[in-house]
Chains A and B, each alone.
Chain A
């Protein structure tokens, strides 16, 4: 089996070690004898909506994010087609904001997103920074699991009716610092402010994404378990620090 991964604008949107998420996907496939094909999308290139099983969108510095936001508009329809065809998406930080309808700056200016998630973001007065611990139920029968990471965002994101929160905040700020929720999910499209990066300490979420992505072409997929003792120890340490 092979997973085709498309990272959007890796040179522009990778400020918070988004490469780490790619590395986790790569290794967890490799350790199971599965193959990864990377097909990054760069500014000016075209996007085949049938090519990739999983899309990753990271965050960038403001300037870089503005540079790619315009290019991303060209792929709006292709990305909606890809999602309708079963592709999974993980959008983090700036990528999360771009996956929504729009980002409204402090001065009222609007940067359009691509509307994969029914949400919008407004620039807030203070940055929401720090360790974050959440509880996340993906509705896959595994129940609520602990999601840990680090958040650092000025944007405050409000969800519409077309998506549900990804997780409930136990400690930290989350989407807007007041709703008590973090991230958004619509089917296999995930958006979140949690980085650190996101996937290393939340290996169950990495595997969930890999399964959803592989199911696009291979119908039902069940991944073999891996030895995640280091991962879970790191997640446990992060959750404990926060509770201490």
Chain B
């Protein structure tokens, strides 16, 4: 059985919820660990039912991360999926606006490791994987506040997110992996 050091998990959950709760939502995410392996699954839930983060006014951020605990107890984000939507139903095809997805693992179709989807009307492009650099959750939250008019909870939201984004830049390790495409 994998020995669990819960402190880094608590620290990571606390970091994420601090960012969310200070800037755009009351919702909190939970870091789940399967005690039989070192894989983490991070999302919001109620009674083990996955839920989106609730934004104002009446918007939703569907948030999921899969991570692993490294031998040195560091948490490595292996994959993340964030979808900004007007609906709490993640499968409502008419309501999602944009999605950002990142995966460290290569895929058989050679889609970009980090990409965005845009639910555009004029062209049938919502399944296209537009390549992007890896973005932080802080960048996404700033984008939602600035361009989608999600209500910030704190007048200092920009500074809070900018400072937290710096930590993301310092801690990320994927730049050493030369991910392509």
A, B assembled together:
no
